[in-house]
Structure 1
């Protein structure tokens, strides 16, 4: 049985004050187990990325707490790695150097230079990017840049991997390849993953549970859907799977029907 690992407790988020006050999130509560893959879905402006940024420590909640592995989250830390929609690679550094920047910062005291070098190569191999380690970001495709971003995030060995629509800017074929890579890596490492997405199929394919957000202002968790599809999952087989299509319908129903009443 998976242990409780990440707790989001009574989180509220208010931006501004007085007449300019905007209540973005209202009483967000979520318990995530170790090794669980959670997708957060909802319409634009519902505060999905705000939730992720609070867990990442990039934003302080107005009220409430985030507890990770028994410790309160206070600011950013290497125990939480973020992969954004924009790859965020430094353009003047090679693929290898972009990952090395993170590894050298996080493990300078814990690993020798040789161990760090081997770990950088291992991280790049994990996403099949070791062949391009000497290339600059401008010399590789968008999908390859995202692979490097994922390698850099995983190289920190985070307790939680935070994915903020990481495939949103990619073409359909590249997106499907990277989704398969993330599924493979997550199963191999038993990573705990929190992913923001607009894509219903992506949410059903990748996750153990889908957290569906209501519309803002004062967005909250409307429903949580357990995805009990066996792993490993094959996207071709899933297309004809009645249970998969049932889950897909449930999410679409929430997004299209219930949201109109909110």
Structure 2
């Protein structure tokens, strides 16, 4: 059994429909250490979301295993919380209640009502949403909704936080603010994060390692790039950092080469 905190081992995934089987993932192997921030990047259709959903337990691998903290993943669980591109808040509940529903589910038997209340408020304050406890999702902005989604995920105290293009639907300024918030929170909590993104700059800014996927079908991990940049990271300072730009160019080169091969196939 792997000694890594999270281990994806020899994972294959196929889907069958109408008697036709298509292989989406081929021999995915990835070792993630506790506290690492991992980004998965690649062209559309390369199986990024499939990898994330297998780790989340929402999909079963056709073969292979995912092991988290010494235990095999065999379905969804509170040790893995997922934040989608769409905030997925319940529109009839307030901001507070949207976090409460997760906290009650996970901690209903282990924390008192007052402890749960304090924990909900703590997590909303962490993402600067403590002022909007009584507002419903329709009364707040898209960026605020994502903050609440992140607070709800963090409030479950997951071993791994899974982010599926969490900033993809936001405008550039809001996206930058939320990226900074996620960096701040991760520095404070030292939590383990796996994020899907299409944004090269985002991947380099946030990550300890970038996992680059080959094109589908039968996608695999093409390269893994270690990002050796000191934290905390300042996006303005990094813009002129030669090492940052080398990492950025390496990812762009990989993606461009895969796109060129796809176009000429």
TM tier relative to shorter chain: over 0.9
Partner residue, 1:108: 108
Q: Check the 8 A contact 1:11/1:26 in 2, yes or no.
A: yes
The CA distance in 2 between the partners of 1:111 and 1:193, in whole Å, is 25
* 5+ long unaligned stretches in structure 2: none
Paired residue for 1:253? 253
Q: Name stretches of at least 5 consecutive residues in structure 1 with no aligned partner.
A: none
Is residue 185 from structure 1 mapped to residue 185 from structure 2 by the alignment?
Answer: yes
What secondary structure sits across from 2:128 in the alignment? coil
1:185-223 CA distances to partner (integer Å, 9 max, x unpaired)? 001000000000000000000000000000000000000
Question: Number of paired residues?
Answer: 260
Hey, what does 1:56 align to over in structure 2?
Answer: 56
Report how far residue 18 of structure 1 moved: 7.3
- When normalised by structure 2's length, the TM-score is 0.96
Tell me, yes or no, if the aligned pair for 1:26 and 1:219 is still in contact at 8 Å: yes
Tell me the alpha carbon deviations over residues 149-205 of structure 1, each in whole angstroms, 9 at most, x when there is no partner. 000000000000000000000000000000000000001000000000000000000
Q: Secondary structure at the match of 2:222?
A: strand
Question: How far apart in 2 are the matches of 1:18 and 1:11?
Answer: 24
Shift of 1:4: 2.0
Secondary structure of the structure 2 residue equivalent to 1:224: strand
What's the secondary structure of 2:255's corresponding residue? helix
Q: Is the 8 A contact 2:41 2:197 kept in 1?
A: yes
Rounded to whole Å, the distance in 2 between the matches of 1:201 and 1:96 is: 33
Q: Which runs of 4+ in 1 moved over 3 A?
A: none
**Cα pair 1:214 1:259 within 8 Å, conserved:** no
Paired with 1:125 and 1:74, the residues of 2 have a C-alpha distance of: 33
The equivalent residue for 1:77 is: 77
Distance apart, 1:145 and its partner CA: 0.1
Q: Does 1:170 align with 2:155?
A: no
Encode CA deviations 1:17-75: one digit per residue, 9 max, x unaligned.
Answer: 67521100000000000000000000000000000000000000000000000000010
SS in structure 2 opposite 1:21? strand
Aligned Cα RMSD in Å? 1.0
